[in-house]
Amino acid sequence: MDIELELRKNVKDLQEQLNRSHRRIKTLQDEIYSLQRKVNSNKSFSSGMSGWALMQDYPSYKKEDKEDDKV
């Protein structure tokens, strides 16, 4: 009986560790998401309906190339 009680205690301890680990992972994921939003908010990209990242403003060399083609 002592072995069974000890095993039950070990299982309970492991379950508590697992629950704490899950909560910690969730907290860290939330922090990562928050930091990514801060860093990415300064970029000039937006996502369209397709889910691909699209630039809001074309780079200057693209505009210059188009003007050179007209001449």
Residue-level pLDDT at 55? 57
Gap between the Cα atoms of 71 and 66, Å rounded: 9
pLDDT surpassing 80 at residue 12: yes
Q: Taking the domains of the chain in order of start, what are their residue ranges?
A: 2-70
Could you report the per-residue pLDDT of 39-60, keeping only the tens digit for each? 887 665 555 555 555 555 656 6
Distance in angstroms (rounded) separating the CA atoms of residues 67 and 21: 58
Confirm if 31 and 37 have CB atoms less than 8 A apart: no
Q: Is the pTM of this model over 0.75?
A: no
